[in-house]
A and B are shown apart, each in its own frame.
Chain A
Amino acid sequence: MRATLWADTEVRIHPAFPVLCAAMLLTARGTQLGAMLAVLLLHELGHVLAALALVVAVLATSRPAVSDQPYSPDSVAANGSRALAQVLARQGVEVRHVTTVSDAVRAATPGTTLLVAPAPLLGDDQAAALAQVPADLVLAQPGATLLDKATDGTVALDVTPSGGVRDPRCDVPAARAAGAVTLDATLAVTGPAAVGCWPAGEGVALAQVRSGGRTVTAVGDPAWLANSSITEQGNAALTLHLLGGHARLVWLTPDPLDASTGGGVSTGGSVLPPWAGVVAAWAVLCILVAAVWRARRLGPVMAEELPVVVPAAETTRGRGRLYRRARSRGHAAAALRAAAADRMAGRLGVPRNADAATLTDAVVRATGRPGEDVGALLYGPPPADDAALAALARRLDDLESEVHRQ
């Protein structure tokens, strides 16, 4: 089941994407790229738009619509909850995913279920706003503030969690349907209005409070939502009973940067000061003006018809690289020796077609070196390695300088 879920992706384009593209296009105009783009825009607007559309299409289709946020209905990770969301959707429950508290408060009307996924960064104001919604509340691993406000202080966090497989031992329908589970008992029932299930020691794993026509259910251990453990024991039955009670489910996975409370005027879900947007618009205006300022050059670029670039030493370098790559020290040494012999023969008056012995004799007479030494230098075996080849070249230079000194 998981495999089929994971292979399944859907297409979703962020609404800000075209705006982002346009902004990139405009901010790039100050640079040389910008000038190029400006020319293109003037002359080939159609092509540019087509290319842009193609880029958008490719990016949109290649981007899978999954997130990696824990307990998000989009996430296919082990701690995601996409499996649960899809099963609920197949059962006819309309799942609405929200990431801000204000959206959750607005969507959680009577007759809906609001699931608050684990949110350690929830502010006190936000917790209060969530606790007052008229919808049925399901809190997964709630913080102390949220738990306190939502249950009117009848449920608290237990400091000594303990686990193990056990029966519900309560009359909450969802718990009875689920049967034995291994959820950690991290909650403590402190008031008479609350019902606790799956007790272990002082704590309970699930606590439910009915007040004012709504039900508030808190589960201390969020493992029952996760893709990895939803199929274990009675977790699936528990989730379907708790979250499938109404036709609409609001699923809140709070954004860590969200500061909205849902009360009064919406601040747009931003932590920036209110004038930031206006200043940003002014900055965009200035960037636009700067781009237009820099975009047009003073007349066309002057081109120069340059001669072709073919270095005369190209073939020599190429041959040298061939020698080096093939490690043909024999050929290289033969070339060096032949060139040195040719020059020395010219200096000593030996004809070019003279044999080795004649030239060796002439060099020996000119330099006074031993004959076998000169013979080995001019006609010896090829060198064993590069260092020996370099040494041979230097010794040939020495010999040649001795000949030329005569």
Chain B
Amino acid sequence: MTITGRALALALAGIVPVLLWPTRGTVVTWGLLVVLVCVADALLAASPRRVALSRRVPASVRLGEPATSELTVVNSAGRRLRALVRDAWPPSVAVTPDDGAAAGTAAVGAASARTVTSARHRVDLRAGDATRLVTPLRPTRRGDRAAGAVTVRSFGPLGLAARQASLPVPARLRVLPEFASRRHLPSRLARLRELDGRSAVQVRGEGTEFDSLREYVVGDDVRSIDWRATARRGDVVVRTWRPERDRRVLVVLDSGRTSATRIGTGLGGTGAPRLDASIEAALLLAALADRAGDRVQVLAYDRTVRARLAGASGPRLLPELAEALAGVEPQLVETDWPGLVGQVRAHVPQRALVVLLTALDPAAVETGLLTVVDQLTGTHQVVVAGVADAEVAALAAGRDAGTVYDAAAAARGDLEHAAVAAVLRRHGAEVLEALPDALPPAVADAYLALKAAGRL
């Protein structure tokens, strides 16, 4: 039971009798009157527990896109129901009044504790009536979000007091990764098409295959002329090549402790964990490699397999991949690199392109990845992609007496990263490090370069 502002107004109105008869008895009588009226009002209210509730939410929604939660309220209390109904969702899903400015960003910081007015609904239902309450949602974080209980505060006929109950109505909303990097996809697909049908000889080699014959045009390399076909046709004909299809691409996301660090929590940064940038890169690379006709597998691993996708292709690939990666959260454990190598060997026995999305943290790489990179580069083409931090880049630009030490520390960190990258390259891996926004296109470009060079 609870009371409303009207009960306070009733208590405040007691100043009139108190000033007319200034004795303690007046105050006590008025207090008893307020209590009695409130209790009677609460007893006359419809029972909040005898309300049938059901929720309908979409199974999944892309990060940053609006969704709605529909709550059906059926009044089976046998009395008129005047109530305030709260459809509670976690702060990263609920729409707050000033959400317009922050819409579309993947900011992680949960909204500070405040009342979410969009989740509150006033209902006035006769006995047996039903209504549908629509609560707008706008998720700002990836992952599975469970809805809270539905709270019904049923007011009495005078509006002085209310009965309240929180009823569990289970619901879950899966928030898929944003895939903001899909804007880079058209330009990379165009470059992929350029690779097809190129006649240049330097493209030909391991990993390329004969495509077709076509007429010679000025500028084609004369060494690619197919003399036998030319003699047959009476026209100069050249052979064209295309990159070999059906190569295997394995994208490995490191979900260990280095992926939990937040990138660019400072000014302008999203504050999202490093893993989110890795997921963006994995989505772009998977989409690109699938269009190029390669077979894509994705693995998220720290000490156990957190997510795995294999065998999907075409239009099914991206939805399934987004679904698989939506629930992956960074784990605060050290990544088990020998175990990861075992997983890679188990899933791709033949030569494949293995893209490791991790952090190029010198200490972690020296004790982890460096010890096993040889076992991978022996069979596979390995690309190690690290997520760099915009905040460190900003620190490196400090030039006054107060910030130059930070700049020196950032410079020392860059040197160490460069040294680690050089060691990894010496072991035969391709290494690239980029800021979160630049990482997906950088990984895609590295893939295209390897494909163009026939090194898959």
Contacts and interface: CB of A to CB of B under 8 A. Distances in A.
Interface of A: 274-275, 277-279, 281-282, 285-286, 289-290, 292-293, 295-296, 298-304, 306-324, 331-333, 335-336, 338-340, 342, 352, 386-387, 389-390, 393-394, 397
B406 interface: yes
B408 A332 contact: yes
Interface stretch (B221-229, B236-244, B365-373, B410-418): B410-418
A286 B164 contact: no
B305 interface: no
B177 interface: no
B409 A320 contact: yes
A301 B3 contact: no
Contact of A338 (B14, B148, B260, B415): B415
A137 B349 CA distance: 113
A390 B410 CA distance: 14
Contact of B406 (A277, A293, A295, A320): A320
Interface of B is mostly: mixed
Given A307-B329, A312-B263, A293 B391 contact: no
A393 B410 CA distance: 13
A295 to B, nearest CB: 8
B447 interface: no
A339 B415 contact: yes
Q: Lowest 3 A-B CB distances belong to which pairs?
A: A299-B151, A332-B408, A320-B406
Given A310-B260, A323-B405, A336-B411, 5 more contacts: A275-B19, A286-B12, A292-B3, A393-B407, A394-B399
19 contacts: A275-B19, A279-B18, A282-B18, A289-B7, A293-B4, A298-B84, A298-B151, A300-B148, A302-B90, A307-B273, A308-B260, A311-B265, A312-B262, A317-B406, A318-B409, A335-B409, A339-B412, A339-B415, A386-B401
Contacts of A339: 411-412, 414-415
A327 to B, nearest CB: 9
Interface string B1-39: 011110110011011001100111011001100100000
A338 B164 CA distance: 68
A278 B414 contact: no
Contacts of A322: 409
Contacts of B31: 285
Contacts of A394: 399
Q: Which of A275, A298, A306, A390 has the most CB of B within 10 A?
A: A298
Nearest to B18: A282
Interface in B383-408: 389, 391-392, 395, 399-401, 404-408
A290 B422 contact: no
B261 interface: yes
Given A302-B89, A302-B148, A304-B90, A278 B389 contact: no
Nearest to B391: A313
B341 interface: no
A296 B42 CA distance: 15
A278 B406 contact: no
Contact of A336 (B4, B5, B274, B408): B408
Contacts of B26: 278
A74 B166 CA distance: 58
A390 B412 CA distance: 16
A275 B23 CA distance: 8
